[in-house]
Amino acid sequence: MMKLTLAGIKDLKRNSDSRLVKHVCDYVIDRWSDYNDKKGIFTDVLHYGCQSGIVGELIYYSDTVAFYKQYRQEINDLLYEIMNETGLYAPSDLFGDKWDKEDPLAQDICNQNLLAWFGFEETLRKIAYNFEALEAVI
């Protein structure tokens, strides 16, 4: 466990092989000066979700679909990992009514949008696990 510092976030980014982790670290770095309590960078997203509009780059379908397509493999890996952890092997079980069951392979924008948000939020959660200050909030 590390202290929640800008240097710590930059170290995680530098030491990661994941393009998605690097992207989400950049989000944290870009918002660092916007928050007095740095935990808020994480809690705002993890408590309210990308659907709240808190992540400005993931509001419009054109952006979320592009994000999903850019990070599809890593998002799929995260989804598989969560499915194994929860024992829920259907996206509709994980995402509920938001998941379009008629689009099981996420070929359409609605499910790609959900998966983009999921990928961003789960990656941010995984980053948060590295910091002791965030243990109680994730």
Residues (pLDDT < 70) of the chain are none
Q: What is the pLDDT of residues 74-108, one digit of tens each?
A: 999 999 999 999 999 999 999 999 999 999 899 99
In a domain, 1, yes or no: no
DSSP code per residue over the chain: -B---HHHHHHHHHH---HHHHHHHHHHHHHGGG-SSTHHHHHHHHHH-GGGT-SGGGSSHHHHHHHHHHHHHHHHHHHHHHHHHH---SHHHHHGGGS-TT-TT--SHHHHHHHHHHHHHHHHHHHHTTBGGGGGG-
What is the number of domains present in the chain?
A: 1
pLDDT for the residue numbered 120: 98
Residue 38 resides in a domain? yes
State the pLDDT at residue 7: 96
pLDDT at 131: 93
Q: Does residue 121 lie in a domain region?
A: yes
Q: What is the pLDDT at residue 133?
A: 84
pLDDT at residue number 138: 72
pLDDT of amino acid 79: 95
Stated pTM of the model = 0.95
- Structural domain including 126 reads 6-137
